[in-house]
Amino acid sequence: MTIPWLTILALLPAAGAVLLIFTGVKAAKQVALAVSLITFAFALVVASQFTIGGGQFTIGGGMQLAEQAPWIKPLGAYYALGLDGLGLTLVLLVVIITPVVIIASWRDFDSADMSAEADGPSSTGAATLAPKYDARVFFALVLAVQSCALYLFLATDVFLFYVFFEVILIPMYFLIGGFGPGPRRSYAAAKFLIFGLLGGFVMLASVIGLYVHSDRAGEPSYLLSTLSQLDFGTATGRWMFVGFMFAFAIKAPLVPLHTWLPDAAEESTAGSATMMVGVMDKIGTFGMIRFCLGLFPEASQWATPVVLVLATISILYGAILAIGTRDIMRFIAYTSITHFGFIVLGIFALTSQSLTGSTLYMLNHGMATAALFVMAGYLIKRRGSRDMTAYRGVDQAAPVLAGLLLFAGLNTLSLPGLASFVSEFMVLAGTFSRHPAYAVISTLAIVLAALYILIMYQRTMTGPVPDDVKEKVTELNGRERLAMAPLVLLILLLGVFPKPMLSIIEPATQATMQHVGVTDPEPRVSAEGGR
């Protein structure tokens, strides 16, 4: 390689974040948007060089556009990047979501008359706290999260991955604690950080274990291509798997390690919550495929019964809590717990259909969550409340706003013809072929999803229009519609024509299945049906 395509891609937003330090506050959002669009365009150039089915991919090997250079020789750590179908799917998600967040947050920090202290109880969800920093810092932190996420999805060295796994906590912490509008933002940011650091600390023990084991095998190395060929032994492999899985289960988030997410989402701006749930949390499910299945195939099969139970609990638990909550930001967080449960279920069902569906689900969930958070942000900015019961009648006052919220909700409940339906159906169908009981139980969440989405819409959009809603909840302007446009188009496109993304994902899925040593179950045919 003469041009380090992946390094340039990952460093572009980081360079933009640094540039914003020397940019005036008024020009910060224009610079941030320009950087995010340049990064998006460059990602498309990189994607155009990706050959579907090329590279004869294996776990950690056969990566396309690969870059590798010694970094910390005594540890066997390399600066190593590579691209496969799994990584490309999430890279595209990151570069799509970031400009959407920037456009949707365009005027979130323009108001200079926000009170510095809360003037109402937190139960109202009123946006009463002023940001601790100016807009320049917000957009710089968004670009920093984007850069870290790109490195995480491109890294083919475990130590490099671990470094950015920890570093991404820093900008996300300040996005929550520095810009959250609620009075509990410092608490939520601290809780987010403690959970993240706890997961990283436990994973560090496994990272050290990889060094020790590879050193005993001949030469220390953190390269995935080397580690995936080592036999860690049953006991050692299972312990190291637990270390990685614990950290990824926090990020995902999986019940019972999910409690940080509702608090963090509730106390975040819509843009911050989108970067957290739509982008950062995908690191957990990505890591389960790349590292848990890729490095510890035997341990992954050993842990499958427990993980499937936890995933099923997450699916139903998140849906039930979403039905009962009134805070719209917390509501979206609970729906995400359900959807992450589906993703984890598909990963550990260990069928090609469910694993491909889970990878596609990461992309679809990122866009679905972004659409919901963006629309919630528009509502909160107008009405000044996160409480669903504070609205009513918005469909009459702002029909386009109500229509786009309904569209985002229907995608979230996996309406046929929209993107989420394809991935959710693949996960359930693939799971049913090997674990029918879990698939049947999880299907109940589809009914619950219809219930919580319709309840949310009924509470906020229908009914008589109160005078204060009629005055405050105005129709979407052109910029706000522009932020939603790419999400709407992609959700529709992937809902009716997912084949391009499936073609990108499937080779990596097949390589993972082969490495883990599992094959798809034989079709079940009854005796009469076989005659």
Q: What is the pLDDT of residue 118?
A: 38
Given this model, what pLDDT does residue 124 score?
Answer: 42
Q: Where are the domains of the chain?
A: 5-516
CA Rg value for the chain: 22
Provide the pLDDT for residue 119.
Answer: 38
pLDDT for 40 equals: 97
Contact (Cβ atoms closer than 8 angstroms) between residue 423 and residue 360: yes
The pLDDT value given to residue 467: 73
Residues of the chain scoring pLDDT < 50: 56-57, 60, 112-127, 531
Query: How much is the pTM?
Result: 0.92
Kindly report, residue by residue over 432-480, the tens digit of the pLDDT. Answer: 999 999 999 999 999 999 999 999 999 888 888 777 777 788 889 999 9
β-partners of residue 61 are: 58
pLDDT of residue 125: 42
Q: What is the 3-state secondary structure (H, E, C) of 248-309?
A: HHHHCCCCCCCCHHHHHHHCCCHHHHHHHHHHHCHHHHHHHHHHHHHHCHHHHHHHHHHHHH
Q: What distance in Å separates the CA atoms of residue 522 and residue 177, rounded to the nearest whole number?
A: 51
Q: How many helices (H) and strands (E) does the chain have?
A: 23, 2
| Crossing angle of the two packed helices 436-461 and 297-324, in degrees rounded to 10 | 30
On whether the CB atoms of residues 378 and 105 are closer than 8 A, the answer is: no
* pLDDT of amino acid 376: 93
Q: What is the pLDDT of residues 218-239, one digit of tens each?
A: 889 999 989 988 888 899 999 9
Which pLDDT score, from 0 to 100, does residue 289 have? 95
The token pair at 475 is: 């129709």
The per-residue pLDDT for 117 is: 37
